Amino acid sequence: MKVLVPVKRVVDYNVKIRVKADNSGVDLANVKMSMNPFDEISVEEAIRLKEAGKATEVVVVSIGPAQAAETIRTALAMGADRGILIKTDEDVQPLAVAKLLKAVVAEEAPGIVIVGKQAIDDDSNQTGQMLSALLGWGQATFASKIVIGDGSADVTREVDGGLETLTLKLPAIVTSDLRLNEPRYASLPNIMKAKKKPLAEKTPADYGVDVAPRLKTLKVEEPPKRSAGIKVPDVATLVAKLKTEAGVI
């Protein structure tokens, strides 16, 4: 069984985001970019499936600018076998990503696609669900455990009330949540080896997909600044303030 893992290049999670002066978006100049953390978890899970003999090949795909090749190389250094870069400088929104992934699925015929539950830049949490709808495949979102069976997968999901386990007929879409696993670090020898692994380069036009944005961003703003705290002299004043000002009690 082949596993397909989409990996997105996003602003590193440690970076403090700066909004552009004209409020048109986030400033990406000289900002550290990395693989979306949920996609690292998906790559790790796919590699573990291969190590356990449940998968035969791990293919990663990224849609984005030329630099997204670095994100693919990171996945290859972790242990993925092969990469596909669908190169575009457009702002590719989840529907367009899902359409491109559908075309890649048609070519690659994976048994499972492990998508991140959300990209930390747009926080959309849409791509996996849209891909499932476009393909007519079953889906299990927010996975914290995946057990591959014979033609099926048992997926434990993190839901509000606790954990829910679903059985899905394969092929299927799974979206990874934080507690699925802890991704490994790529070792130096594996980083060197990854340079020689195959990385195909395509464009959206190769798949006949129009990636023109369907949504328009009107305005991006910083969150309101928190006002400074105050010190109260004693507990009685604190309780009074909680009652009258915070409405807590």
Smaller CB separation from ligand AMP, 116 or 138? 116
d(CA 184, CA 181): 9
User: In angstroms, what is the minimal distance from the CB of 230 to ligand AMP?
Assistant: 39
Nearest-approach distance from CB 145 to ligand AMP, in angstroms: 18
Q: How far is the CB of 63 from ligand AMP (least distance, A)?
A: 4
Amino acid at the residue 146 = I
Residue labelled with tokens 């009652």: 243
Q: What is the Cα–Cα distance from 116 to 91, expressed in whole angstroms?
A: 18
C-beta of 54: minimal distance to ligand AMP in Å?
A: 20
What does the alpha-carbon distance between residue 199 and residue 206 come to, in Å, rounded to a whole number? 16
Assess contact for 72 and 7: CB atoms under 8 A: yes
- The least distance separating ligand AMP from the CB of residue 133, rounded to whole angstroms, comes to 13
Q: Select 118 or 156, whichever has its Cβ closest to ligand AMP.
A: 118
Q: What is the C-alpha separation between 146 and 179, in angstroms, rounded?
A: 11
Instruction: Please identify, using beta-carbon distances, which residue of 115 and 194 lies nearer to ligand AMP.
Output: 115
The residue of the chain with the least Cβ separation from ligand AMP equals 116
Please state whether beta strands 57-64 and 2-6 pair in parallel, antiparallel, or not at all (unpaired): parallel
Residue 46 or 55: which CB sits closer to ligand AMP? 46
Q: Considering beta carbons, is residue 55 or 114 the nearer one to ligand AMP?
A: 114
CA distance 221 to 150: 49
- Contact between 9 and 33 (Cβ < 8 Å): yes
Residues in the site for ligand AMP, rule: CB under 6 A?
A: 6-8, 36, 38-39, 62-64, 92, 94, 97, 115-116, 118-119, 122, 124-127
